[in-house]
Amino acid sequence: AQTVTQSQPEMSVQEAETVTLSCTYDTSENNYYLFWYKQPPSRQMILVIRQEAYKQQNATENRFSVNFQKAAKSFSLKISDSQLGDTAMYFCAFMNREYGNKLVFGAGTILRVKS
Amino acid sequence: GAVVSQHPSRVICKSGTSVKIECRSLDFQATTMFWYRQFPKQSLMLMATSNEGSKATYEQGVEKDKFLINHASLTLSTLTVTSAHPEDSSFYICSAGQSRASYNEQFFGPGTRLTVL
């Protein structure tokens, strides 16, 4: 069974600084997808970034980038130039076709950006 | 991007009554929809997967007779909480899947807060 672990329940960062959220996963599959979702206080789930496991290049989306280490089964999210609007719960998630394309979520990390 | 709506956004009901939550994909057809439950400050727990025109597949531990799911069209899935009790109070989120080349991208609704008195 696939599992996703986020070991940081809560984190805080000063505005304009950089923060890294950790995520590890366990799977025996070779082809899969990894995601980071953001859930702000409105509770609307928002896709932040997606990584295909077969791609070695780390995905980036503006201020958001990942460090994907396939052998180590690690998928961390780096947020640069943190903004107050980045305050949210962040979920790491795993998906693969053999598991019916269902998302497996980690427990989440609450990120607070302080002014 | 793809938009998914949920109705109602919040509902309060009395214990013993049934509540229906609708999930609609507004600008795309979703062959698969997913229903999640989320407690405060916790992760999303997948309850069931529904495919248009067929019976829903429930995750282990989810009572299919309590949480009735209907996916009658490619744009609408409904979750009915039957004979609701206070322990069913929670935040319910749906997502609609849109097929990509090799995976099913999920777009999430805004959620429904259910309170059972």
Contact B98/A at CB under 8 A = no
Q: What angle do CA A1, A96, A62 make, to 5 degrees?
A: 120
CB within 8 Å: B43 and A107: yes
Q: How many Å apart are CA B85 and CA B77, to the nearest integer?
A: 22
Both tokens assigned to A49 = 């970034």
Amino acid in the structure at residue A29: E
- The pLDDT value recorded for residue B101 is 67
Which residue, among B56, B66, B75, B64, has the nearest Cα to B19 in the 3D structure? B66
CB within 8 Å: B102 and A44: no
Summarised one tens digit per residue, pLDDT across range B72-103 is 889 999 999 999 999 999 999 999 998 776 77
In this structure, are residues B41 and B48 in contact, taking their beta carbons and an 8 Å threshold?
Answer: no
Segments of chain B with pLDDT less than 70: 101
Segments of chain A with pLDDT less than 50: none
Contacts of A5 in chain B (CB under 8 A): none
**Distance (Å) from the alpha carbon of B41 to chain A's nearest alpha carbon:** 8
- The pLDDT value recorded for residue A22 is 98
Task: Return the residue of A nearest to B45 by Cα.
Answer: A105
What's the start-to-end Cα distance of chain A, in Å? 41
Q: How many Å apart are CA B2 and CA B15, to the nearest integer?
A: 35
Query: Of A33, A96, A100, which has the smallest distance from its Cβ to B49's Cβ?
Result: A100
Contact B70/A at CB under 8 A = no
Summarised one tens digit per residue, pLDDT across range A29-43 is 888 999 999 999 999
- The pLDDT value recorded for residue B16 is 97
Tokens 């090799």, residue?
A: B102
- The pLDDT value recorded for residue A37 is 98
- The pLDDT value recorded for residue B53 is 82
Both tokens assigned to B1 = 């991007």
Task: Return the residue of B nearest to A90 by Cα.
Answer: B43
For chain A, list residues whose CB is within 8 angstroms of any CB belonging to chain B: 31, 33, 42-46, 89, 91, 95-97, 100-103, 105-108, 110
**Half-sphere exposure for B115 (CA within 13 Å, toward CB):** 6
Q: How many Å apart are CA B3 and CA B95, to the nearest integer?
A: 10
Contact B46/A at CB under 8 A = yes
Contacts of A106 in chain B (CB under 8 A): 43
